[in-house]
Structure 1
Amino acid sequence: MRLDLLSALNAARAGRRAAVLVTDLDGGEARLVTAETLAGDPLEGAIRAALRTGRSGVVEGTRAFLTVQVPPAQMVIIGAVHISQALVPMARMLGYDPVIVDPRTAFATPERFPGVTLLAQWPDEALPGLHVDRYTAFIALTHDPKIDDPALTHAFEKDCFYIGALGSRKTHARRVERLTAAGVAPEALARIKAPVGLAIGAITPAEIAVSILAEVTQAWRQGIA
């Protein structure tokens, strides 16, 4: 591999940016494709599909091999609640290493969340150090505007691939009113999945956790590219 391509690939990895190395198997010129250069690429459709799956391989009908580098998805959960207790082990099965943020020390305890990265801080204190980005699933579950609203604002700013928030449609309508009054753009508010999770009729915390993970997976596999 050319040194300039290797350096660019390493820089993308260090910066948590997706990149695809396109190699001509017949010995032609190799190139690196990133989000900034993807639009208009001759293999744009195939590269977008590869980014969604994270799988490397030969593009069907060509002699081009795609080496895919996608940052590992992160999950930030706002709220040390019952749903979070069910969500964490399921998320780990899918390869996430969830982080929980909740300033309410009565809820955010190691006894309730053994072995979990748990930050008993307000979002404005905890989130800047977590390197939230577009490869982050961001889930607000406290049902407390003082905690969820500033956390959601941070998620908008970082362009998270998934942003979900607990609450009924009525609760969400009030949330939209508050955030609109705070200056959040309508297109950002439209990104919130609320009520959170796919509509599978979930009732228990575990069922709601399943619905959330299904929706997160759908967003990751169908929309990240």
Structure 2
Amino acid sequence: MRPEILTSLLAARAAKQQVALVSNLETGDQTLVFRDRTEGSLSLDDDALDATRNALRDDKSGRLRRDDAPLFVQVFNPPKRMIIVGAVHIAQPLVTLAQTSGYEVVIVDPRGAFATRDRFPGVTLSEDWPDDALNTLGVDNRTAVVTLTHDPKLDDPALHVALRSEAFYIGALGSRKTHAGRVERLTEAGYTEDEIGLIHAPVGLAINAKSPAEIAISIMAQITQVLHGA
């Protein structure tokens, strides 16, 4: 591997960027493929670029089926991330399930009495206002956003950011009546029906969940379902 390729790859991983290393198995030429650019000596046609970016999306390394050259794609994706707005009871089992599923978890709650190290050990905590927190964190296509506070003053600002982002999943806790009010507020704020339709609400799969742990299971199951296009 050329030093400049290694330097760029390490920098991308440190910055938690999505990147794939494409190698010609005959010549040794290599190119880094990012979501918006390439770096390296190996030229790739549009089909190879599309296949590489599909591999990034699918988190799947492997050989590319090519007649002209034997290519291998090695995917270096950052961990998936879940941003939970609201350090409520449901958040505790949801954190455990998310971490077990390989997610980095961030809890956002400006109410300092809720988002504490005692309640959420080993989790990144933010006491910023939800929209500020999400803008600072950056919401990309490997991020799930879940709002749990039941408080429009906290949930809505997060949803405003999430709906304008690439988040692969957006979920909001609340009854159908609660969501109807949410839809009305978002419509008044200028969001389209299709945009509002990106919100999974009431959040979670319909498994008649009752306890915080059961609700967390339903949420994690739905996120997994959306992630894999099931």
TM range (shorter): 0.7 to 0.9
Alpha-carbon distance between aligned partners in 2 of 1:221 and 1:31, rounded to the nearest angstrom? 28
Q: Which residue of 1 aligns with 2:159?
A: 152
Letter in 2 for 1:117: T
Note the 1:164-179 alignment, pairs <5 A.
164-179=171-186
Alpha-carbon distance between aligned partners in 2 of 1:72 and 1:163, rounded to the nearest angstrom? 18
- Select the residue among 33, 41, 48 that pairs with 2:46: 41
Shift of 1:220: 3.0
What is the TM-score normalised by the length of structure 1?
0.82
2:84 match: secondary structure: strand
Go from structure 1 to structure 2 and tell me whether the alpha carbon gap of 1:43 and 1:203 turns closer, same or farther (over 3 Å shift): farther
Shift of 1:180: 1.6
Q: Which residue of 2 aligns with 1:111?
A: 118
Q: Which residue of 1 aligns with 2:88?
A: 81
CA contact 1:52–1:221 (8 Å) conserved in 2: no
Q: Which residue of 2 aligns with 1:214?
A: 221
Note the 1:8-47 alignment, pairs <5 A.
9-10=9-10, 12-27=12-27, 29-36=29-36, 41-43=46-48, 46-47=51-52
Shift of 1:217: 2.3
Q: Percent identity?
A: 53
Q: Which residue of 2 aligns with 1:162?
A: 169
- Select the residue among 134, 143, 155 that pairs with 2:150: 143
- Select the residue among 192, 198, 211 that pairs with 1:191: 198
1:76 match: secondary structure: strand
Q: Which residue of 2 aligns with 1:71?
A: 78
Alpha-carbon distance between aligned partners in 1 of 2:121 and 2:143, rounded to the nearest angstrom? 22
Alpha-carbon distance between aligned partners in 2 of 1:180 and 1:11, rounded to the nearest angstrom? 41
Q: Which residue of 1 aligns with 2:41?
A: none
What is the TM-score normalised by the length of structure 2?
0.80
Superposed structure 1 runs of 4+ greater than 6 Å apart: none
Instruction: List runs of 5+ in structure 2 lacking aligned partners.
Output: 39-44
CA contact 1:76–1:100 (8 Å) conserved in 2: yes
Shift of 1:113: 2.5
Letter in 1 for 2:59: G
Go from structure 1 to structure 2 and tell me whether the alpha carbon gap of 1:218 and 1:4 turns closer, same or farther (over 3 Å shift): farther
Aligned residues: 222
Deviations 1:63-94 (A, max 9, x none): 22111121221111001111101101111112
